[in-house]
Amino acid sequence: MLYVKVVLGLPIDGPFDYLVPADLEAKVKPGARVWVNFRNKKEVAYVVGLSAASKIKKIKEISALIDTVPILDERMLLLTKRVAEYYCCSWGEAIESAIPEELRKGRISKGTLLDKPSLDVKRCSRLDQDAGKIIFLSGFDRMPVYLREIKEALAAKRSAILLFSDIKAAQMAGGLIAKSLGIEVHLSFRKQPKELDSWERISQSPYCVVAGTRSAIFSPVNNPGLIIIDQQEDQVYKQEQVPHYHAAGVSLMRSEIEGAKVILASHGVSLEGFYLEQKNKLEYEYITPKRPLPEIKVIDLRRLSYAERKSKSLFSKYLADAIYAALGRKEKVLIVINRRGFATSAACHNCGATLKCPACDINLVYHFEEDKLKCHHCSFKMELPNICPSCSAGYIKYSGIGTEKVESELARIFPQAAIRILEEGKEQTAFPEADILVSTGSLIKRGDLSFDLIGVMAIDNLFNRVDFRASEKTFSLLTGLADFTSGRMIIQSANAGHYCFQALIKHDPRIFLTEELKQRKQLDLPPYKHMLLVKLRGRNAEKVKEAALGLSERLIKLKNPAIKIISVNPGQPAKLRDNFYYQILIRASRVQAACRLLKLHLKETNYSGIIVTVDVDPV
């Protein structure tokens, strides 16, 4: 008799044993899909092993075999298993993050994976000589390096996977690579038209080049020799849904299994990259900029003259004069503020009540162009109220500044200038002809712009977020903006002495990285320790809070050295799309040990109406 061990795309750890009917024993193989009856439902399951015996007495048969040729090879099974162990999800959930939606629903694949040699387990160790190199690539003009590395990989008859932060960037890069090298580049991203057809073409090619978004790290390429992650510091590489994997982390796992070279690329220097370089686990390659380095000036908002403070102008006199002089010379100006809309808060002048989204409990943002209050977390919109909805007496006062408010103030001060807003997520082609462009930090994803003067406003809002990575993210944004000019960048801040600014002024990122690492080490924060965020959500606020406090108390009582509870508090935000959130922040030295403990404990606990997920290494 033959038994299969299967896992399912559910938040339930397996594997589960099923009996193989006699007529299917010669056909079923690891990596194939089967139909099974699980909890009285017909489900797609994934075969991860075969066995001649089972400890289960009353065992069910598999209902049917979907694949005579497995859709997952030995290496992909190992990769998804490691993803499940590290990112604290089930093996089945990890597998379903690696395959197209049609395959998850049980659709039969037309294609076949190429035969591959049996996996040499010794290659799976990072210490092994055959494991691929890890390189951190820093600089603005990175495409020539990508082309060079792809040519070398293809010459060795090995595949290349390139990840980009959005679909448009992947499409543009794919077109450029195809034109430059005269090859076909496969595009890979979730819910693309004919996703399964693209997946099958990739799996049938002996070696190829794939360009895509986060999920492309699981592309079924044969013999991968190169993995490139562009703008690797971008938060989009972290999956918001379960499993909360990070594409960079998965790329290192795949590198260990396949022996592929990994290039983590960015416009700046990564803190983790700097840390690994110091430990000789990573090579660092710097692209010398073609344009001269800009002059960077930080305006201390605490030391403005009395007249400037009294005027309450958005722009310091220094920045306003610089914009005026640039316009006089017909130069291009960029003003960056990392908030959209006209006003970021609307509150009653009488009772002080702030208008919030009813589904998310987030401050509504006033958008002047639409003349509406909008939630930036969901699709909620509302008309501007004439009186306060809470007290029916006071009028609504708008405060805070966003891109629209900055545009309005610029138009008042510089009426002769053509001013445009670059809206995030919107296609715009006419803005380069503007004298002054106003944008959020999302602009750094574009590589086709250049400015003579860049002004950065309200940067302290980024520094002051409740996030231990706040300084790192701010520094990354500013270094990315500095690449857009060889002229001047003027930053307004009330924290002008911050080491972030000192590193920028001296054009020496190691000043920032060294100080930031020193502070992280003192506080036992990443990269010295790992953080895990246990998230609880549900429709009842009290139940969610009680469940979070109860779970944290049980974990504390374990007194297990694998984990340490740091805090238990409402989520950020506490309410989102009608769900209430609570979170438990945990510190751990070894992620896999912490995940095993959490999985074991969560398995024994049942929360009615509450969903519990674990986010490893939250961004």
Mean pLDDT of the 231-250 span: 93
Tens digits of residue pLDDT in 275-303: 988 888 888 888 887 788 899 999 999 99
Do 295-339+401-521 and 530-616 agree at the fold level?
A: no
Of 428, 376, 420, the residue nearest 168 (C-alpha): 428
Between 401 and 111, name the one with better pLDDT: 401
Angle ∠(291,293,299) on CA atoms, nearest 5: 140
What percentage of the chain has pLDDT greater than the value 70? 95
Q: What is the pLDDT of residues 405-423, one digit of tens each?
A: 999 999 999 999 999 998 7
Closest CA to 268 of 320, 244, 233: 233
**Bridge-partner residues for 262, per DSSP?**
134, 227
The answer to whether the beta carbons of residues 248 and 229 sit under 8 Å apart is yes
187 pairs with which residues across the strands? 211
Angle between helix 271-278 and helix 509-522 axes, rounded to 10 deg: 80
pLDDT of residue 118: 56
Within 10 angstroms of residue 542's Cβ, the number of other Cβ atoms is 9
Task: State the pLDDT at residue 426.
Answer: 54
C-alpha–C-alpha distance, residues 253 and 88, integer Å: 15
If you average pLDDT over every residue of the chain, what do you get?
A: 90
- Average the pLDDT over 229-255 and give the result: 94
- Distance, CA of 516 to CA of 218 (rounded, Å): 33
Compute, in degrees rounded to 10, the torsion defined by CA atoms 459, 463, 466, 469: 120
For 3-104, give the CATH class. alpha beta
Q: How far apart are CA 258 and CA 124, in angstroms?
A: 8
pLDDT above 90 for 8? yes
Distance CA 161, CA 3 (A): 36
Q: Mean pLDDT check: name the lowest of 250-254, 383-387, 547-551.
A: 383-387
Residue-by-residue DSSP string for 141-190: --HHHHHHHHHHHHHTT-EEEEE-SSHHHHHHHHHHHHHHHT--EEEE-T
Lowest mean pLDDT among 10-14, 81-85, 88-92: 10-14
Burial of 266 (0-12, 13-18, 19+ CB in 10 A): buried
Q: Residue 109: what pLDDT?
A: 73
pLDDT, one tens digit per residue, over 577-603 is 899 999 999 999 999 999 999 998 887
CA atoms within 13 A on the CB side of 505: 12
Find the radius of gyration of the CA atoms of the chain.
Answer: 27
More confident residue, 441 or 111: 441
The dotted CATH code for 121-286 is: 3.40.50.300
Return the pLDDT at 14: 86
Say what the pLDDT of residue 529 is: 94
**Beta pairing, strands 451-456 & 16-19:** unpaired
Q: For residue 494, give the 3-state DSSP assignment.
A: coil
Q: Is the pLDDT score of 353 beyond 50? A: yes
Parallel, antiparallel, or unpaired for β 209-212 and 185-188? parallel
d(CA 331, CA 485): 11
pLDDT, position 127: 32
Give the pLDDT score at 119. 54
This prediction's pTM: 0.89
For the chain, the domains span 3-104, 121-286, 295-339+401-521, 530-616
Q: What is the rounded end-to-end Cα distance, in angstroms, of the chain?
A: 48
Domain 295-339+401-521 classification at class level? alpha beta
Q: What is the pLDDT of residue 108?
A: 84
- Closest to 102 measured CA to CA, from 65, 68, 71: 71
Q: How many CB atoms lie within 10 A of CB 390?
A: 15
**Averaged pLDDT, 236-262:** 94
Tens digits of residue pLDDT in 99-149? 999 999 998 876 555 655 555 444 433 333 334 789 999 888 899 999 999
Name the more confident of 238 and 350: 238
CATH of 530-616, one of 3.40.50.300, 3.40.50.740, 3.60.20.30, 3.30.70.600: 3.30.70.600
